[in-house]
Amino acid sequence: MDGVVDLGQDVFAIDTRMGGYSGITAGYVIRGDRPCLIETGTAKSAPRVQECLSYLGIEAADLATVVVTHIHLDHAGGAGDIAAMYPNSQVVVHEKGARHLADPTKLVQSARRVFGPAMDRLFGDLLPTPAERIVALGDIGHIDLGAGRSLEAFHAPGHASHHIGLVDSVTGDLYTGDAAGIYVPETQDVRPSTPPPDFDLDLAIASIERMRTALPTRLLFSHYGPVDDVSLTLDRSIEELHLWVEMVREARDRNFDLDHAVAMVIEQSQVRLPAFHDDADVVLKFEELASTAANVAGISRWLDKVEGPGSTSGDAAGVTR
């Protein structure tokens, strides 16, 4: 089936096609005794995800677990729909995100404020998940996949306070969510995702280092796909984070407002990473997913916190991906 890729050992990547784009938002399925879906995609993706699960032989009664790495709408927007489609599934989320899945009112309101008319095109509304079906994880967690196989979860804040990473006990795969940035298959390189209000450089780097200590065999990025070269990729994630923070710091030193800071970062990135910027389609879809403006606003908000307000300060609250 188009957009379903067999990654071996009962692991499958499915393209959830956020906003109709191919190759930016992945969900993963671990088939087996207790089938598990990692990332629901957006609410609008739910029928597509259901179709993919059905293709993999997983019907309404079969799905045991749904895990979301964090509650941003490109990862968990379909949680309510998927919970309704698969009535036996438990929905696993970090404890800081649990109440927003049970009652998404505030999350949806703030997303609508940030995305305006693009909200319906990209995401749709996150529906509530019945509270009794939500399993909230703390610093670590264990998800039973059956037959002695499990996912071991750990808190991985930095991109978002409610972010977790997951390691498959059989394959050594590490589900990175957005905590190690965004992998762009077209250029085989990473790009940071540092949105407000949560982005924190120190926590983000600590989470990436935590991933390294798990000695993963492969990284499975929600954006987008599997990556074998673990240590090089994690190194690049950290390097890009530092570079982006330095660029925003420079813009503040030069007293640029947020718009000028964004323009400066784009200009410097075009020089630094011409392969990415040469392909207009790639730039467009990854900007929809994690825009330079959201990244700069998130870094700026973090700098405000650690260094005091600067020229790029402003209302950057509530960007939800």
Stretch that binds Zn ion, among 52-60, 95-103, 149-157, 175-183 (CB under 5 A): 175-183
Of 190 and 251, the one with the shorter C-beta distance to Zn ion is: 190
178 belongs to the binding site for Zn ion (CB under 5 A): yes
15 belongs to the binding site for Zn ion (CB under 5 A): no
Give residue 225's region: left, alpha or beta (phi > 0; psi -120 to 50).
left
Of 149 and 223, the one with the shorter C-beta distance to Zn ion is: 223
The half-sphere exposure of 108 on its side-chain side, counting CA atoms within 13 A, is 19
Stretch that binds Zn ion, among 70-78, 134-142, 163-171, 224-232 (CB under 5 A): 70-78
Candidates 78, 128, 124, 74; CA nearest to 99 is 128
Of 75 and 133, the one with the shorter C-beta distance to Zn ion is: 75
- Rounded distance between C-alpha atoms, residue 199 and residue 257, angstroms: 19
| Residue 209 exposed, middle or buried by CB count within 10 Å (0-12, 13-18, 19+) | exposed
- Treating both helix axes as pointing N-terminal to C-terminal, what angle do 201-213 and 230-253 enclose, rounded to 10 degrees? 170
Q: How far is the CB of 176 from Zn ion (least distance, A)?
A: 10
Of 178 and 198, the one with the shorter C-beta distance to Zn ion is: 178
Q: How far is CA 221 from CA 85, 124, 230, 271, in A?
A: 25, 23, 11, 26
- Site residues for Zn ion, window 113-132 (CB under 5 A)? none
Q: Which position among 74, 198, 200, 240 is part of the footprint of Zn ion (CB under 5 A)?
A: 74
Q: How far is the CB of 178 from Zn ion (least distance, A)?
A: 4
Q: How far is the CB of 289 from Zn ion (least distance, A)?
A: 7
Of 150 and 207, the one with the shorter C-beta distance to Zn ion is: 207
Size of the site for Zn ion (CB under 5 A): 2
> Tokens 């929905």 sit at which residue?
91
- Rounded distance between C-alpha atoms, residue 296 and residue 81, angstroms: 32
Stretch that binds Zn ion, among 40-48, 118-126, 161-169, 174-182 (CB under 5 A): 174-182
Task: Give residues in contact with Zn ion (CB under 5 A).
Answer: 74, 178
